[in-house]
Structure 1
Amino acid sequence: MRVSEHSNIGTIDDSDADSRKAVDETLEDYTLRYAPHSFRRWSPKVVAITALGGIAYLADFSIGASIGMTYGTTNAIFSILFAAIIIFLTGIPLAYYAARYNIDLDLITRGAGFGYIGSVLTSIIFASFTFIFFALEGSIMAQGLLLGLGIPLWLGYMISTFMVIPLVIYGMKALSTLQVWTTPIWLILMVGPVAYLIHKEPNLVGQFATYTGAGGFAPMDMAAIMLGAGVCLSLIMQIGEQIDYLRFMPAKTKENSKQWWAAVISAGPGWVILGAIKQIIGAFLGFYLLTKIPGVNSTEPVQQFNAAFHDMLPGWLALSLAVILVVISQIKINVTNAYSGSLAWTSAYTRITKHYPGRIVFVIVNLVIALALMEGNMFAVLGKILGFYSNFAIAWVVVVATDISINKYLLKLSPKEPEYRRDMLHNINPVGLISFLAAAGLSIAAFFGLLGSFLASYSPLIALIVAFVMTPLMGILTKGKYYIKQSHDGINEPRYDAEGTPVATVYQCLVCEQDYERPDVMFSHKHNGTICSLCKTMDK
């Protein structure tokens, strides 16, 4: 059904021309807006498989090997498990909000404590996550191309960067097909050699369990566990990429409730279960390389799997499969990194400039930054980069998760249903912004030793605790008055039905003249009619 509420068109300004450039949603994939019911034609199972396909990255193996070689097996495993528990718990409210209300992490953040402009800062933090991990995965692929085909690293970096562009351009439709078809191949290539290695050399597991690492730490050393957890917790931002897929979940109904919840939990916070397993396997393979093939860089996944494949297959085939695994993994994750990064950059840029350049422009921007990092050999300082970045990531995710769970549901300081539209929100909400800055600021100060040598190891814990405590405290102090600027958007029909499901009634935006569902529109006094959220964003 189409409902047109405008009585006259009003004056069309330069922002209206920008709006019309953004209406090809097949290419733009509902950047900056609610993903409508009419577009969400995938089943919960397909959405979940697509989302989980994005965690095929090999960085987990590097991270596991890095902390395992430094802090020892026991400390590394406890680091991994501690980080996994935090990531899982914080991911539940975020994944639920994305799937239930069909919006991405930036739109969630706006109404969960940060405000309309305040969340620009977090968009940039998320964009940073995507190009850091794109560079990391691209470096791993270049290492594989060097080992398998003799391609120089600099050229391998370029190949790994530009090969994802055709896939990323076409958004969810292309990505869902890619992830569904490549996931079984990836699983077989990843699990097969590791299972064979454990079966062939069972004593290796016992030796691995007693390995104490090169850092001189005792088993169950809390400082070592927290330092390792800091590196692992940099992956807490992966929930943002999972959400970029989960926002396309179908509406939750009584008929699909079990399947819907299974998909949300497995593809949302559940990604970290497989991630933790991969990190432990990475530590194991790193130990295997260290003891069996001294002199090889034990943190390079291509070397890890090349050695494992060599134990079960002829040399030429082993090397070929190791390279194939690296290439498939890199493509699966880096199309997600480039896709999610383009959404984050576009969101920040459009709100600041009120100009919409198109998502594809920022695909290129993200790739250029990632390529520069690769050429600068960021892989060599992986642990330091991730340990530093995790302070920002933990602070942001914990603030938003706490705001949803406590400020919205427990303290009822803000509406449960999300708000993200301009004019409905204050530009700045001190609840989230001050909580985030306090948590990130204190944890970074600790990370660099400014709070004493003892607390330097505990910067991730500081970020977590400060964010968790400050968010409800700020909500109480401000009495929740900075969440919503105005309570009514000028349209009489509610955005959500009695069960909380987004209403699918279609309205026509009088600026771009396209149809949008109820959650994505509001009344514009300037145009004297209905306007979509993106046109409202670009209204100058």
Structure 2
Amino acid sequence: MNETSSIEPPDTAGRSGGAYLGLEPQPRSYQSWVADETIEDYALRYAPASYRRWSPATITHTALGGISFLALEAIGAALTLSWGVQTTVVAVLIASVFIFVTSLPIAYHVARANVDMDLLTRGAGFGYIGSAITSLIYATYTIIFFALEGVIIAQALLVAFGLPLPAGYLLSAMVILPVASRGMTAISRFQLVTQLPWIVLGLLPFAAIAWRAPDALGQWLAAPGPAPGLLSLGAAIGVLCALTVQIGEQVDYLRFLPPRETTTRARWWGALILAGPGWILIGGTKILMGSFLAWLAIRAGMTPDMAVEPIGMFRHAYEYLFAPAAALLVATVYVLIAQIKINVTNAYAGSLAESNFFMRVTRYHPGRLIWLSWHIAVSCALMLMGVFSTLEAVLAIYANLALAWLGAIFADLAILKPLGLSPARIEFRRAYLPDFNPVGCGSMAIGGLTGLMLYAGLGGPILQAWSAPIAFALSLCASCVIGMWRRGAGYLARVPHVFTRRSRCDCAICSHGYETRDMAYCTFYERPICSLCCSLEPHCRDYCKRAPALSDDAPAPAAGPVQLTRVPPRLWHRVWQIATVFGVLMALLGGAWLGLRDMAGRLGDPGLGTAVFLGAAPLVALLASWAVMANERRRLTEEDLLGALRQLGSAQRELAVRQRLAAVGEVAATISHELRNPLGTISSSVEVLSRNPGLGADAEEDVLRIRRSIGRCSRIIDILLDFARQGAHETVPVDLRAWLAALIAEHPSGGLVRLQVPSGMRLRCDPSRLQFAIRNLIENAAHAAEAAPGRRPDVELRAFHDAGFTIIEVADNGTGLPPEMRARVFDPLVTTKASGVGLGLTLVRRVAQMHGGDAWVARTGPLGTAMRLSIAQTP
């Protein structure tokens, strides 16, 4: 570690590796673009304060540049053609209020925690693996809209220059690479440069329309059409609700908002609202603008198919100001600017989401640029499949899953956290998160599956139209109910380690320094590692989250008799896994079935989609079973390997300890004689000096200091000599309670010790050696209890029988052992005391092993530490 480390590095001399498996952390290096955070933008981790150097105004401009997408105008035009102007206007107003309210807590927590949407979801009730599903949903959103915006560009190039659509699709995808590949720095500059032309060209046709046709707006609002009804309004709102996920793209920029303390309150909150939920104020206006322009173009004689396309509606709008040829050219320029602005954001946000998803699925991180290429390739495939022609259906189906996700997040951030039913801090590190949290995962499953079933028509046309809002409401209610039932349980797998010495720390695997907010203490390697290296670690199998009883510090349980059972072990666990995988695959197949059903209806065979869906169910069940069993085989193989490594590590650890003890013994035998004589001479001289009546008070103090130093040196020699002793020890029966009471009475700290030993309890042991071990434990406990600020020192000594052993426990009410010391306290020459030698606890364990037992840390934490010593019961 260098000077930025927050904890001392473990002493690895004489050891072969980690305390548990005998493994040293393997150094990890990344490709140059992965290590370059100007490209990665801390894609998979917390954005540190040192990187958040942009002003609130820059963040606002960059985030608002991401809402330039003309798909909003296209959505407004499509809704107008389907449901009429009045229904569209009312639906936009209701959806805008809904999106603003649900997006505000998300934007606030992202800006405060400086994490992206995926990392926020992890700590907002979904868990580490559970949020991978939401990452896929969010990535799907960015892919869909990237494809929609690419289609709009290709259509503009086709109309203006006759460029074939496939060539336009490819060009629209490739043109964003130079900017999106460079990260936040390049994107912010690009958005600032293009902001003014986008705003001017976007408002110019409306100014011309207002000048030349001032009554057009009133005529649009009064356009004949069906009045808003429950069915039409629900269908329109269901489509618009899919836009709620846009907050994910906004917060990808908001996470770089500078700390609130470094700017004024008004600027910070202004940037938060405008760049966060405030996007819908402009977005909703753009939807209404699209409705207005499409109505205007159709009234002028343009075909509905052309009027719904942004190039068509804006070409007609610019004809109020320019000649037809010039209007087409200006409209094309505007479409290109607007769509490139949004697709840069779509590609950037999508590559972040895909990096998060695939990193957890594959434990591999090739870099954001790889997933950027993947994002573009999938989007091009959707363009070729004609995604724009099914815009309303795609968004309506997607809205059910998206709103179920956001309903669970909103419930956690806006309800459960203020009530204290979930942790106030957003935790995103794998080391401290459970794989799944039922609060978010369960509520999303309830809301999403119910919404999809309603959309499939199982509840009638009214519920089908309102399926997306119902999915949101169900998910929100389920999240609150589950959260209140669990009362905060399940959000954390273990208590996060607090790095107290410095603000930065070096990762033991990649060797880079990060802020401690982005670091975790790895109990597998006994070192701090960064959150990304923790996520990519394939060997530990979440060792840090296992029960403390699995620690090597505890004695191994006695082997029981072999039991034969008719039911295979973990059977129900496998059944649950197969059912879960089957449900997920069937849900995905159900989405495809909805589209296939509509297509089959157009082909004249309405039952084709249902037949394919039901016929595929057995195959999906077989696929789910194969996937689970393959994973089970992999798990068993890894467990066997880890078991072998654990045994190897224990053997290597024991060998290293024995080598140390042998070296200490050789040194002790040599130096004890050389030290005893000088110490004896010094002690005699001090005794002579102390009898001199002419000594002053200062000299008497010096004599006492010399005596204490002589005593300390003698104790060190005794410890060293005890290591040098070999051979058998003699055991005698003792009355344990009386013997321990006498030991406490002789100890200087005996006044602090409470004895809890049953009367009549007897033990066969070597009294002299066991006395040394227990005195050492009492001395350590007293020292820890006296060092705890604001507490009355308390030490408890108790004994009991357990499974053929006599257990002696010494517990204190100190502040506990540091995590980096817990697994090493019994190693030779390791101590937490400034004046300690580091051999006392090693000798304690050796004494216990002489008696057929062991010594270990039973528990430790802020409320104190309990050390245990076991002695085998002999007749």
**TM-score, normalising length: structure 2:** 0.59
Letter in 1 for 2:143: F
The one-character-per-residue Cα deviations of 1:316-368 (angstroms, maximum 9, x if unpaired) are: 32111101111111110001111111111110111122111111110011111
Q: SS of 1:2's equivalent? A: coil
Structure 1 match to 2:282: 274
1:97-136 mapped onto 2 (5 Å cutoff): 97-136=109-148
Q: 1:283 — aligned with what? A: 291
Contiguous gaps of at least 5 residues in structure 2: 18-22, 539-875
Q: Is 1:408 equivalent to 2:417 in the alignment?
A: yes
- The match for 1:470 among 469, 478, 501 is 478
Please state whether the residue corresponding to 1:265 is helix, strand or coil: helix
1:441 and 2:449 aligned: yes
Match of 1:46 among 55, 58, 70: 58
The answer for the alignment partner of 2:178 in structure 1 is 166
* Aligned position for 1:351: 360
Distance in 2, Cα, partners of 1:21 & 1:508: 20
Which one of 483, 487, 493 corresponds to residue 479 of structure 1? 487
Deviation of the 1:490 alpha carbon:
5.2
Structure with greater contact order relative to length (CA < 8 Å, sep ≥ 6): 1
> For residue 26 of structure 1, what is the aligned residue in structure 2?
38
Instruction: Show the counterpart of 1:7.
Output: 10
* Alignment pair present for 1:372 and 2:381: yes
Partner in structure 2 of residue 257 of structure 1: 265
Task: Confirm whether residue 398 of structure 1 aligns to residue 407 of structure 2.
Answer: yes
Deviates most, 254-263 or 132-141: 254-263
**Shift of the alpha carbon at 1:45?**
0.7
Contact kept in structure 2, 1:168 and 1:339, CA below 8 Å:
yes
Would you say 1:36 and 2:53 are equivalent positions?
no
Which position in structure 1 is the counterpart of 2:795?
none
Match of 2:341 among 332, 356, 363: 332
**1:341 partnered with 2:350:** yes
**Local SS of the residue matching 2:260:** coil
Task: Check whether the contact 1:113–1:403 (CA below 8 A) recurs between aligned residues.
Answer: yes
* Partner in structure 2 of residue 306 of structure 1: 315
Pairwise CA distance, 1:195: 2.2
Change (3 A) 1:255 1:371: closer
- Structure 1 pair 322/145, CA: closer, same or farther in 2 (3 Å)? same
Give the Å deviation of 1:4.
Answer: 4.7
Q: What one-letter code is carried by the residue in structure 2 that aligns with 1:3?
A: S
Equivalent-residue separation in structure 2 for 1:326 and 1:396 (angstroms) = 32
Which of 81, 91, 107 aligns to 2:93? It is 81
CA distance in 1, matches of 2:119, 2:263: 28
The 3 A distance-change label for structure 1 pair 354 and 68 is same
Q: Aligned residue for 1:527?
A: 525
- Is 1:488 aligned with 2:496? yes
Superimposed CA distance per residue, residues 109-137 of structure 1 (whole angstroms, 9 cap, x where no aligned partner): 00101001000000000000001000000
Structure 1 residue 148, shift from structure 2 partner = 1.1
Which residue pairs with 2:326 in the alignment? 317
Q: Is 1:18–1:538's contact at 8 Å kept on the other side of the alignment?
A: no
Corresponding residue to 1:381 among 385, 390, 394: 390
Q: Which amino acid aligns with 1:313?
A: F
Between the aligned partners of 1:475 and 1:313, the Cα distance in structure 2 is 60
Within 1, Cα distance between the matches of 2:468 and 2:97? 13
Distance (Å, rounded) in 1 between the aligned partners of 2:441 and 2:190: 37
Q: Do 1:510 and 1:529's aligned partners in 2 also have CA atoms closer than 8 Å? A: yes
TM-fit CA distance, 1:478: 2.0
The separation in 1 between residues aligned to 2:133 and 2:289, in whole angstroms, is: 35
Q: Does 1:241 align with 2:235?
A: no
Rounded Cα–Cα distance in structure 2 between residues aligned with 1:48 and 1:309: 29
**d(CA) in 2 for partners of 1:371, 1:14:** 39
Alpha-carbon distance in structure 2 between the residues aligned to 1:351 and 1:14: 19
Work out which of the two has the higher radius of gyration on C-alpha atoms and give 1 or 2. 2
After superposition, what is the alpha-carbon deviation per residue over 1:11-52, rounded to whole angstroms, capped at 9, x for unaligned?
455683459984321221101100111111100110111011
Structure 1: 5+ residue stretches without partners: 494-503
Which amino acid in 1 is paired with 2:5? Answer: V
Report deviation, 1:72. 1.0
Cα distance in 1 between the residues matched to 2:186 and 2:32: 24
**Contact persistence 1:447–1:457 (CA under 8 A):** yes
Contact conserved, 1:103 with 1:247, CA < 8 A, in 2? yes
Cα 1:313–1:422 change in 2 (3 A) is: same
Give the letter for the 1:539 counterpart: E
SS at match of 2:35: coil
CA drift at 1:485: 1.3
The match for 1:500 is: none
- CA distance 1:20–1:165, change in 2 (3 Å): closer
**Cα deviation digits, residues 48-84 of structure 1 (max 9, x gap):** 1101101110001000011012111111011111111
Given that 1:131 and 1:369 are in contact with CA atoms closer than 8 Å, whether structure 2 keeps it comes out as: yes
SS at match of 1:313: coil
Question: Which TM-score applies when normalising by structure 1?
Answer: 0.94
- Answer yes or no: is 1:220 the counterpart of 2:228: yes
**Pair 1:8–1:257, CA change in 2 (3 A):** farther
Asked whether the 8 Å contact 1:8–1:529 carries over to 2, the reply is no
Tell me, yes or no, if the aligned pair for 1:8 and 1:527 is still in contact at 8 Å. Answer: no
Instruction: Answer yes or no: is the 8 Å Cα contact 1:19–1:538 preserved in 2.
Output: no
**Which residue in 2 is equivalent to 1:496?**
none
The 1:383–1:13 alpha-carbon spacing in structure 2 relative to 1, beyond 3 Å, is: same
Structure 2 Cα separation of the partners of residues 255 and 368 of structure 1: 41
Whether contact under 8 Å (1:15, 1:539) holds in the other structure is: no
Which amino acid is the alignment partner of residue 100 of structure 1? R
Distance between the aligned counterparts of 1:237 and 1:16, measured in 2? 35
| Alignment-derived partner of residue 498 in structure 1 | none
> 1:501 matched to which residue of 2?
none
CA deviation string 1:470-513 (max 9, x = no partner): 111010122221111112325346xxxxxxxxxx9221112111
- 1:455 is the counterpart of 2:463: yes
How far apart are the structure 1 equivalents of 2:434 and 2:201? Answer: 50
**Using the alignment, how far apart are the partners of 1:426 and 1:294 within structure 2?**
57
Paired with 2:460 and 2:434, the residues of 1 have a C-alpha distance of 38
One-letter amino acid of the counterpart of residue 417, structure 1 = R
Identify if the C-alpha distance between structure 1 residues 73 and 414 changes in structure 2 by more than 3 Å, giving closer, same or farther: same
> What is the CA–CA distance in structure 1 between the aligned matches of 2:121 and 2:279, rounded to whole Å?
21
Residues 439 and 462, structure 1, Cα contact 8 Å, conserved in 2: yes
Q: Find the aligned partners of 2:73 and 2:224 in 1 and give their Cα distance.
A: 18
Supply the RMSD in Å over aligned alpha carbons: 1.7
- Matched residue type, 1:144: A
Q: Deviations over 1:233-279 (max 9, x none)?
A: 11111000001000111000174211000000010000001000000
- Residues 19, 511 of structure 1: 8 Å contact kept: no
User: Structure 1 CA distance, aligned partners of 2:77 and 2:115?
Assistant: 35
Q: 2:440 maps to what in 1?
A: 432
Name the stretch that deviates more: 469-478 or 247-256: 247-256
Contact 1:60–1:275 at 8 Å: present in 2 too? yes
Aligned partners of 2:517, 2:328: CA distance in 1, in Å? 52
Paired position in structure 1 for 2:372 = 363
What secondary structure does 1:7 align onto? coil
In structure 2, what is the Cα distance between the partners aligned to 1:66 and 1:46? 34
Structure 2 letter corresponding to 1:7: P
Q: Contact conserved, 2:6 with 2:503, CA < 8 A, in 1?
A: no
Which residue is equivalent to 1:176?
Answer: 188
**Which of 195, 199, 206 is equivalent to 1:194?**
206
